Structure 1
Amino acid sequence: MEEIKLQIRAFLSRFFRKRTLKEDEDIFSLGFVNSLFAMQLVMFLEKEFEIKIDNKDLDFNHFRTIDSIAAFVENKLSINK
């Protein structure tokens, strides 16, 4: 899970250059997320981790924090095994 978090953090750091995000910090409540960024995040996760994110997966709670994104990815990876 730590490797997943590192990859997610590296991706997010390109967008949040002036801020170091904590693993439990809600990126939506910080006001940094717009619809374009949300789609970029989904596309990054699908490509980087070779997972398919369906419409039913598009729950804000899966994408709020580094912790929640990593848990979501780990769950998707375990389903695909």
Structure 2
Amino acid sequence: MDVRAELTEFLSGATGDRIGPDEDYFARGLVNSLFALELVTFVERRFGLAVEVEDLDLDHFRTINRLTDFVHMKTAA
């Protein structure tokens, strides 16, 4: 499973824009807080993990690389 590639595909499709691995799509205004919920739901369903309340730190979700690290951390636990 190539987490980074799947996240890139999902985010590019959702935003209609190419997103680099370290690009903050929230800061660029490509997504909003409502999309953050959609992103959490996608991550939970696609990678079979539970995002707990204490995990809801926007820093985990700001970039593809950070989100990839978060998924790896959660799936390794």
TM-score, normalised with respect to structure 1: 0.89
Q: 2:58 aligns with which of 60, 65, 68?
A: 60
1:38 maps to which residue? 36
- Percent identical pairs in the alignment equals 40
CA RMSD of aligned residues (A): 1.2
Letter in 2 for 1:13: S
Structure 1 gaps, min length 5: none
The answer to whether the 8 A contact 2:15-2:31 is kept is: no
Gaps of 5+ in 2: none
Aligned counterpart, 2:3: 4
Which 4+ residue blocks in structure 1 deviate beyond 3 angstroms? none
Provide the TM-score with structure 2 as the length reference: 0.93
How many residues end up aligned between the 2 structures? 77
